[in-house]
Structure 1
Amino acid sequence: MKVDYITQSEKLEEVLEKLKDKPYVFLDTEVAVKDFEKIDYFKDKIRLIQLGTYDDIFVLDAYKIEKDKLEKFLKEVLENKGVIGHNLKFDLKFLATNFGVYPKVVFDTYIASKILSKGDNSQKHSLSALTTRLTNQEIDKSYQTSPWWIENLTKEQIDYAAKDIDALRNIYKEQVLQINQEEAPLKSSGETYKVFGVKNPVVALEMAFLPYLVKMELSGIPINQEKLNTLIKESKSKFQNLYIDFKRKYGVDPMSPQQVVNFLTKRGIKLPKTEKGSFSSQDIYLKDYEDREEVRLLLQIRYEKKNLDKLEELKIYIKDGRVYGEFKQIGASTGRMSSYKPNLQNIPRSLKHIFQAPAGYKFIIADYSQIELRIAAEYTKDENMIKAFKEGKDLHKLTASIITGKNYDDITKEERNLAKAINFGLIYGISPKSLVEYAKNNYGVSITLQEAKIFHENFFRYYSAFKEWHEKTKEYLEKRKFIEQQTLLGRKLIAYKFTDAVNYPIQGSGSDLLKMAVVLFNRSLDDLDAKVVNLIHDEILVEVAEKDLEKTKEVLSQAMERAGRYLLKEVPVAFEINVSQTWNKD
């Protein structure tokens, strides 16, 4: 393995000459991270930048080369070629903060591995795991956390850095072969296909989405820190007072699960048992007893503690008036993202007002309307559901009229809420018994098992394509024990349980749709002062300068419409766009 260790600016021209005709380069970085538990993308510094082709490996020492010349070189190479790396989000964020370099066309072997695993959570996706699985070789990662800040690196450190590039070359070649063997209902035709030869549209979408996810994470989301501090103070005081009152009155620690269970059962409250045989006092099991003072007070204490924990979590990740979170691009088997450090996807509605756009800016809050139901209608080709959407009907009201036998125009708010539980529950195949619990826990609607059975029967009689799909899926699972499903775009997922089998393709298609809308939006922004600052399943949150508000709304609307039309051929796409100073819709 030939390695060129570059420490002089003059050598960059030679490297540039060797790379000039290559359509892509392999990339890795080594960063002098002070604390790997608290990586600081704005303060920690890149030490080495490894670039490779199938002929050469170059290890560039950022501590030795003049920064302005290195920056110019990196922009020339990485912003004009394809870039292949592993867990590229890490490298791209540091390239952006250290050098202002933003690669546009990328291939991440970590993301590719997640897609190829088809939702198999038992598979590992680290560089060492992929090297072993795909090439039958092993790589030593023990130098990953070595002291990259020392003035003169050891030969072992430089060799370690170069070996990651060698591993990438072998992994990438094998992954592209596997990806192109997978059949998909649609074909990619963009830059990912042109540069890397990747035909799969799901892979192309995820790779196109990655650079925009990097920008979103580095943008952060603005927060009113003064309001946050006030809320923390108020919430802490309220929680402490409620806690003390409860303990004085009942002699029980309300934050001790065992003490609470013993206390409630002694007072005649029936609690269900967990699989392990112990009693559960989760909130959902206490809602039927809210008329009792001790239960009401206990739920209030838990509510305040949950809010306080979220507020304090947010405070940890504030920097210069913005909260910087991280996202797993494929955080669930369906391809849905997940958020952590802090979780920005589970902010309670009551706390969204503390996220506030700065002076001269606004938030655009865009939501796809009933998107999972629309996708489900498209997926099953259910004629009645498609017809309802084409006619612009409120599907929840329509379902309410079907299950109750009442006229569409006479449906009450409560009946519509019940239908909401039925729609979202039954498309995913839950039983009448589970529907009783689902309606109560998620929508606060109480129904009997007998009513649930009638609603279940009426729903599937009217939306007959769902019944047919569910029955075929159950039959297939009984025979084969597993089933391979795919989203409307072609994301493949293996399911072993019936509920997963009917959930994966719908939620997965929703994930594909949202990511596609984000890619199309970002590509059309041009010089508009606007950026995506958060994503939650079917919602896009954009921060925009007031001067560019109307144009950005138009661009976002067009992107959401185009993404919807690309995946939904029979069902019209619908969405709502609101403008507000805070994350709460005005």
Structure 2
Amino acid sequence: MALIHMTKQAHLADFQRVMQAKVVAIALKTAQPEPANPWRSPMRWIQVATREDIFIIDAGSVDCRDAMVPLLEDPNILKVFHHAKFAARHFLQRWNAAPRPLFCTYHAGQLLAMGRRGFQHRLRDLAERFLQSSPEPTWELLWERDEIDEDLIQAAADEAELLLDLHQAMNAAIATHKLKRVTSLEFRTVVPVAAMELRGIFVDRERLKPLTTSLQAELDALETEVKQHLRDPESLFEDESFLNLHSPKQLLPALQRAGVEVRDTSEHQLRPYLDKHPWLKSLLAYRHRSIVLNTLHQLEQAIAPETGRVHATYHQIASPSGRFACSDPNIQQVPREAEVRSCIRPEPGYRYVMADYSQVELRVAAGLSQDPVMMEAYRNGEDLHRLTAALTMGKQPDQVTSSERQAAKAINFGLIYAMGAAGLQASAKNSYGVALSMEEATTFRDRFFQNYHGIARWQQRLGEEGRRRGYVRTAGGRLRSYQGEKMRITEMLNTPVQGTAAEGLKSALCIFWDKVKAAELDAAIVAIIHDEIIVEVSEDQAEQAKEVLVASMTEGIAWLVPGVPFVADAALASSWAEK
């Protein structure tokens, strides 16, 4: 295997040989390790390997754009990366080049872990798992050295060659476990996610500032009020300024002294005392407004000076079911208050298209179970919550009240995961504000399964098969193994439903990305909020982008769960608050 260290422009003539390969390994080193800011951290070294050649490109000395872009965009060459999103973000920012098709050893390792805990997915860990080797990761020194010597050239070559070996071994394991369809989906999703992070989301700093000031004043007033009620008459201090309302260790004894006999300081414990001690509402308000204020601070601190936007990190496979998570900052956890979400808006000349799936988990459950009543209701466009209320409460659908429909939400979303009566009672109270007696919860649960017998049979079948096989699958083929773990029926049902919904969302991202490119729309995904997609689009193309997004979302999940109509509710908006 030829090893070529490319430090001069003339060396690029040899690079054309890589275009003859079917599989090419690529590794990127920047001035800072992952997650490096693409605007602040220039590319230093690019390693490109085939089975015949390994090229170590000094990206600081050699302009390799014209050589690399055709390779990245060639549809007939598979590009193998570790942490493909990191490289994709840099290639998109510098060259507007998307590496597709690709294979990511990091995501492959996650999928092959099959939801089991205790696995690491660094290159050295994957080498031990799939190649039974323990390489010395000297290539990591490439992050630290300004100049590269012969030893590090060899280390860089070893890393690139390791990627080729891992691809071969992991691809075989993927085939063995029948994971090709879901790995293909995850690999296709990498570039749209990288582009979303790179685009970022605009946060109006000028709107944040007065809101932060007013919230701080509100918090100060709430804190003063609560501490007056918690004042210890035997204290040597004149006030309770020393008391930290965020510290359960300090707050619990203060509450107990004030006559609030709780075991802990959770909201669940405090709510029964609100009538007797109305000032506890101020304590709960203080907590919530503290979260809101902290969110505003996080958003302001996260605004990148290079773009004026927030570039959050999205974790593509954050749970065994494959759902997304978000951090730095967590856009998915921004409070729902309009005053906060109004700060997140498109830039001038643009609008938001915001779309989310309607009852996606219930529709997935209906399709996976082939429950005839649920499927017929969805085909007829019926309100499933109203139907469930009617069936479980012995009423006609037009007689169901709004509170009964609210209770039916708890019934639907709890019982598709085989929640028990006690769990249903707690969920109805905590999540939907509906008080059910244990007798009511038991009756509603029994009637639910009597009417939705397809759901009941599916849950029984999935439980029996899952325990016998030791795993469950999503519609996309994702595996959740329970090897060495206790198998809980609620989690066994959760993975196929939530995992399939997550796969539908990822498929929608890929379809939308492709459609936008083909139509040359000035539109880009800027956030994923659970089952919701937010797109920023130029005002004159907003209606077109809305149609494309809705079509992409329905198409994205229909192939996974045929026979059930899926609905994506979409709206145009001038800020996130308008949803």
Give the TM-score of the pair, scaled to structure 1: 0.91
2:329 partner SS: coil
Residue 62 (str. 1) matches residue 59 (str. 2): yes
Q: Deviations over 1:140-178 (max 9, x none)?
A: 33552556462x323233222222112111110011111
TM-superposed deviation, 1:38: 7.0
Q: Deviations over 1:250-273 (max 9, x none)?
A: 1343222012222334455454xx
Of residues 305, 311, 315, the one that matches 2:300 is: 315
1:84 partner SS: strand
| Aligned counterparts of 1:380 and 1:502: Cα–Cα separation in 2 | 11
Q: Which residue of 2 aligns with 1:578?
A: 571
The change in CA–CA distance for 1:92 and 1:183 in structure 2 (over 3 A counts) is closer
Q: Deviations over 1:401-445 (max 9, x none)?
A: 112112101111111111101110111111111111111111111
Q: Which residue of 2 aligns with 1:224?
A: 204
Of residues 168, 171, 186, the one that matches 1:173 is: 168
| Aligned counterparts of 2:219 and 2:137: Cα–Cα separation in 1 | 46
| Aligned counterparts of 1:260 and 1:407: Cα–Cα separation in 2 | 49
Map 1:131-146 → 2, pairs under 5 A: 131-141=127-137, 144=140
| Aligned counterparts of 1:283 and 1:40: Cα–Cα separation in 2 | 39
Of residues 316, 322, 327, the one that matches 2:314 is: 327
TM-superposed deviation, 1:459: 0.8
Contact 1:239–1:304 under 8 Å retained in 2: yes
| Aligned counterparts of 1:267 and 1:423: Cα–Cα separation in 2 | 40
Q: Which residue of 1 aligns with 2:12?
A: 12
Contact 2:203–2:299 under 8 Å retained in 1: no
Q: Deviations over 1:197-221 (max 9, x none)?
A: xxx2111111111111110000001
Map 1:273-422 → 2, pairs under 5 A: 279-291=263-275, 292-319=277-304, 320-350=307-337, 351-422=340-411
The change in CA–CA distance for 1:38 and 1:553 in structure 2 (over 3 A counts) is closer
Stretches of structure 2 that go unaligned for 5 or more consecutive residues are 232-242
Contact 1:31–1:148 under 8 Å retained in 2: no
TM-superposed deviation, 1:475: 4.5
Matched residue type, 1:84: V
Q: Which residue of 1 aligns with 2:182?
A: 202
TM-superposed deviation, 1:552: 1.4
Residue 512 (str. 1) matches residue 512 (str. 2): no
1:212 partner SS: helix
TM-superposed deviation, 1:466: 1.9
Matched residue type, 1:117: A
Matched residue type, 2:377: A
Q: Which residue of 2 aligns with 1:109?
A: 105
Answer with 163-172 or 97-106: which moved more. Answer: 97-106
Matched residue type, 2:195: K
Residue 423 (str. 1) matches residue 412 (str. 2): yes
Q: Which residue of 2 aligns with 1:43?
A: 40
Q: Which residue of 2 aligns with 1:189?
A: none
The change in CA–CA distance for 1:62 and 1:535 in structure 2 (over 3 A counts) is same
Q: Which residue of 2 aligns with 1:551?
A: 544
The change in CA–CA distance for 1:475 and 1:77 in structure 2 (over 3 A counts) is closer
| Aligned counterparts of 1:255 and 1:107: Cα–Cα separation in 2 | 45
Answer with 358-367 or 491-500: which moved more. Answer: 491-500
| Aligned counterparts of 2:28 and 2:69: Cα–Cα separation in 1 | 15
Contact 1:510–1:537 under 8 Å retained in 2: no
The change in CA–CA distance for 1:290 and 1:142 in structure 2 (over 3 A counts) is farther
Of residues 419, 427, 450, the one that matches 2:439 is: 450
Contact 2:476–2:500 under 8 Å retained in 1: yes
TM-superposed deviation, 1:566: 1.2
| Aligned counterparts of 2:377 and 2:57: Cα–Cα separation in 1 | 60
Answer with 255-264 or 400-409: which moved more. Answer: 255-264
Q: Deviations over 1:522-544 (max 9, x none)?
A: 11112110011111221111000
Of residues 248, 264, 271, the one that matches 1:257 is: 248
| Aligned counterparts of 2:399 and 2:259: Cα–Cα separation in 1 | 41
The change in CA–CA distance for 1:228 and 1:141 in structure 2 (over 3 A counts) is farther
| Aligned counterparts of 1:209 and 1:282: Cα–Cα separation in 2 | 39
| Equivalent residue pairs, number | 555
TM-superposed deviation, 1:391: 1.2
| Aligned counterparts of 2:302 and 2:371: Cα–Cα separation in 1 | 46
Q: Which residue of 1 aligns with 2:239?
A: none
| Aligned counterparts of 1:259 and 1:211: Cα–Cα separation in 2 | 48
Map 1:456-495 → 2, pairs under 5 A: 456-475=445-464, 480=468, 483-495=470-482
1:73 partner SS: helix
1:245 partner SS: helix
TM-superposed deviation, 1:228: 1.5
Contact 2:27–2:48 under 8 Å retained in 1: yes
Q: Deviations over 1:452-477 (max 9, x none)?
A: 11111111111112222333444556
2:395 partner SS: coil
| Aligned counterparts of 2:435 and 2:261: Cα–Cα separation in 1 | 17
| Aligned counterparts of 1:514 and 1:579: Cα–Cα separation in 2 | 20
| Aligned counterparts of 1:270 and 1:138: Cα–Cα separation in 2 | 57
Q: Which residue of 2 aligns with 1:275?
A: none
Map 1:156-171 → 2, pairs under 5 A: 156-171=151-166
Contact 1:483–1:501 under 8 Å retained in 2: no
Stretches of structure 1 that go unaligned for 5 or more consecutive residues are 185-199, 272-278
Q: Which residue of 1 aligns with 2:126?
A: 130
2:20 partner SS: coil
Contact 2:550–2:569 under 8 Å retained in 1: no
Answer with 510-519 or 563-572: which moved more. Answer: 563-572
Identity %: 30
Matched residue type, 2:525: V
Matched residue type, 2:165: N
Contact 1:531–1:542 under 8 Å retained in 2: yes
Contact 1:27–1:85 under 8 Å retained in 2: yes
| Aligned counterparts of 2:224 and 2:69: Cα–Cα separation in 1 | 60
Of residues 68, 78, 98, the one that matches 2:72 is: 78
TM-superposed deviation, 1:576: 0.7
Contact 1:227–1:354 under 8 Å retained in 2: yes
Aligned CA RMSD, in angstroms, stands at 1.9
Contact 1:102–1:211 under 8 Å retained in 2: yes
TM-superposed deviation, 1:288: 2.7
Matched residue type, 2:350: Y
| Aligned counterparts of 2:228 and 2:257: Cα–Cα separation in 1 | 18
The change in CA–CA distance for 1:456 and 1:317 in structure 2 (over 3 A counts) is same
| Aligned counterparts of 1:440 and 1:205: Cα–Cα separation in 2 | 38
The change in CA–CA distance for 1:244 and 1:158 in structure 2 (over 3 A counts) is farther
Contact 1:363–1:579 under 8 Å retained in 2: yes
| Aligned counterparts of 1:438 and 1:255: Cα–Cα separation in 2 | 26
| Aligned counterparts of 1:167 and 1:564: Cα–Cα separation in 2 | 36
Matched residue type, 2:264: S
| Aligned counterparts of 1:566 and 1:474: Cα–Cα separation in 2 | 25
Contact 2:225–2:282 under 8 Å retained in 1: no
The change in CA–CA distance for 1:489 and 1:474 in structure 2 (over 3 A counts) is closer
Matched residue type, 1:289: Y
